[in-house]
């Protein structure tokens, strides 16, 4: 087995986000756009790296200028890109993101399919996964083949390597033809997962309830030993095998753009828990105080993310918190 040279290996999409130059401008009315790196796993890896921990990303980009931009940007952020391959024919995905006057988002995707959606089993090298203490995944790669089969292979490799497995489903309904299929496949993945973070607006699709406490219990029943349900400005709740249940308030900030808030939360959570994982502590053994402190730190990171345009623009560095 390889040495644990990474705190977190993230698996999944990396794309280019284009935002209108100002809040409240629709895509139809925009004359100019600002380019950002995007994709939840890539945002997560960037957040972990900015918080002083070692992160890698496993995905594909196109053999095009957007792919070169993403690889360069990730590398500049300190993300290990040795598992970021180049697809020979598919293009790098792009997304146009409009932000309303209140900071809420709408998306227009150009991925038909994009390179990140064509990750296959051959691209999943277990040696890359074995380098990480934590393997992190999301549900988008389960929505279609061949990346669905690649996800199952990656999860099996992570379990075999003894990684802590983390998931933020980051549900994108437009990727799924059937919500029941989404629920079944995400549930299968969560049965192999140790830590799951889910936003309250995803609960009904994944576990059939809108109630955060009931949803956390239902998620724990699927297999994870630590569940966190985020509730936007209202903070989060947690439910853990040893930690029990708890609730933390959110931090009040002036919201500009909610893009990437969940990614920032998970980056903060895993960065805060990294020292415990280095000591060999498993998520099932984390106590209430340790989980509450990690969630409070994650809330602080997420609050910073929403204060600027772009998923990664306001991701803080540890010395800024």
Residues taking part in catalysis: 263
Which residues have CB under 8 Å from 224's CB, separation 6+? 167, 190, 193, 194, 195, 196, 283
DSSP string, 26-43: -TTT-S-EEEEEE-HHHH
Count of Cβ atoms closer than 10 Å to residue 318 Cβ: 13
DSSP string, 198-242: EEGGGHHHHHS---HHHHHHHHHHHS-SEEEEE-GGG-EEEEETT
Q: How far is CA 299 from CA 56, 84, 137, 175, 284, in A?
A: 23, 29, 20, 28, 21
Look up residue 105 and give its two tokens.
């988002």
The sign one gets for the Cα dihedral 294, 127, 162, 155 is: positive
Beta bridge partners of residue 136, listed in sequence order: 10, 166
Q: How far is CA 31 from CA 2, 19, 27, 225, in A?
A: 49, 11, 8, 48
What is the distance between the alpha carbons of residues 124 and 148, in angstroms, rounded to a whole number?
12
* Nearest alpha carbon to residue 170 among 58, 39, 302, 15: 39
Count of Cβ atoms closer than 10 Å to residue 79 Cβ: 27
Q: In this structure, what DSSP letter does residue 161 have?
A: T
Look up residue 17 and give its two tokens.
């986000």
Count of Cβ atoms closer than 10 Å to residue 53 Cβ: 24
């Amino acid at each position: 087995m390889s040495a644990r040279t990474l705190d977190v290996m993230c698996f999944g999409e990396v794309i280019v986000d284009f935002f209108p130059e100002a809040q409240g401008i629709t895509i139809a009315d925009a004359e100019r756009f600002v380019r950002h790196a995007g994709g939840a796993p890539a945002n997560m890896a960037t957040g972990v790296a900015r918080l002083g921990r070692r992160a890698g990303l496993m995905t594909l980009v196109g053999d095009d200028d957007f792919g070169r931009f993403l690889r360069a940007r990730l590398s500049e952020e300190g993300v290990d890109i040795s598992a970021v391959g180049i697809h020979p024919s598919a293009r790098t995905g792009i997304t146009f993101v409009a932000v309303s006057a209140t900071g809420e988002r709408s998306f227009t995707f150009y991925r038909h399919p994009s390179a990140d959606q064509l990750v296959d089993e051959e691209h999943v090298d277990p040696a890359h996964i074995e380098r990480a203490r934590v393997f992190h995944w999301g549900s988008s790669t389960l929505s279609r083949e061949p990346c669905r089969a690649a996800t199952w292979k990656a999860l099996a490799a992570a379990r075999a390597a003894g990684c802590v497995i983390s998931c933020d489903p980051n549900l994108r309904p437009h990727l799924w033809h059937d919500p029941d299929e989404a629920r079944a496949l995400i549930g299968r993945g969560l049965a192999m997962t140790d830590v799951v973070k889910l936003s309250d607006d995803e609960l009904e699709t994944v576990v059939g309830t809108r109630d955060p406490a009931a949803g956390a219990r239902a998620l724990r029943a699927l297999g994870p030993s630590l569940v966190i349900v985020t509730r936007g400005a209202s903070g989060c709740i947690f439910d853990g095998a040893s930690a029990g249940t708890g609730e933390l308030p959110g931090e009040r900030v002036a919201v500009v753009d909610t893009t990437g808030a969940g990614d920032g939360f998970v980056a903060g959570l895993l960065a805060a828990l990294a020292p415990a994982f280095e000591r060999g502590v498993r998520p099932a053994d984390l106590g209430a105080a340790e989980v509450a402190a990690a969630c409070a730190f994650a809330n602080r990171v997420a609050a910073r993310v929403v204060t600027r345009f772009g998923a990664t623009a306001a991701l803080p560095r540890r010395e800024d918190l």
